Chains A and B, each alone.
Chain A
Amino acid sequence: DTGVSQNPRHKITKRGQNVTFRCDPISEHNRLYWYRQTLGQGPEFLTYFQNEAQLEKSRLLSDRFSAERPKGSFSTLEIQRTEQGDSAMYLCASSLGTVTDTQYFGPGTRLTVL
């Protein structure tokens, strides 16, 4: 068990470009969550998957954001036409999906939009 991994760890892009982040959860974890954390704030929920099904999306997730988990394993989060306000740390977490769930977080991808 190597924990939750995220790639890349850092991404610098110009406004208007598209970016994609990847999350590899702990194996056998069927739930996968995405959060966004801006400087000095707590993480905010974006979306989550139960296996390959996307079950909920936050209102924070505008139409420019899309997430997938095609085979119920890794997940990708894509941001189209990035804006400076998208600059943040994007966190991925996974869990077994039990009643008293514990989520384990990856190291995050820090996005900077110039």
Chain B
Amino acid sequence: GNSVTQMEGPVTLSEEAFLTINCTYTATGYPSLFWYVQYPGEGLQLLLKATKADDKGSNKGFEATYRKETTSFHLEKGSVQVSDSAVYFCALSEKAAGNKLTFGGGTRVLVKP
């Protein structure tokens, strides 16, 4: 079956530091890949997505590239802010499986001023 593995947190950074959260996946077909973010006290929000190999998703300074050869979708941001403190979830979906999402366990990121 499908699965998503992401690095465990918490990740603690200083403001303006570089952030990387690793995500790898296992899928039977050709999935779409997503990063969702959950800010404190709020619901899940889509951060970015990529639907095919070599696509790059980007939003709010975050980027992730769909790497089929390494089955990875690592999330990066060049200069984090305190407001980026949240839990980040990597996820995949497959059309053949009703597009239901399979999530990783989440990575908590804490950015200190």
Which residues of chain A have a CB within 8 Å of any CB of chain B?
Answer: 31, 33, 35, 40-45, 48, 55-56, 91, 93, 95, 97, 99-108
Contacts and interface: CB of A to CB of B under 8 A. Distances in A.
Contact of B32 (A35, A101, A105): A101
11 contacts: A31-B99, A42-B91, A42-B106, A43-B44, A43-B89, A56-B100, A93-B44, A93-B101, A100-B32, A103-B46, A107-B43
Contacts of B43: 91, 105-108
Contacts of A45: 100-102
B100 A105 contact: no
A35 B101 contact: yes
The size class of the interface chain B forms with chain A is: 20 to 34
Interface in B64-113: 89, 91, 93, 95, 98-106
B58 interface: no
A75 to B, nearest CB: 15
Interface of B: 4, 32, 34, 36, 42-46, 49, 51, 89, 91, 93, 95, 98-106
A103 B32 contact: no
A45 B42 CA distance: 19
Contacts of A107: 42-43
A106 B104 CA distance: 19
A105 B44 contact: yes
Contacts of A101: 32, 93, 95, 99
A33 B91 CA distance: 15
A91 B102 CA distance: 14
A65 to B, nearest CB: 16
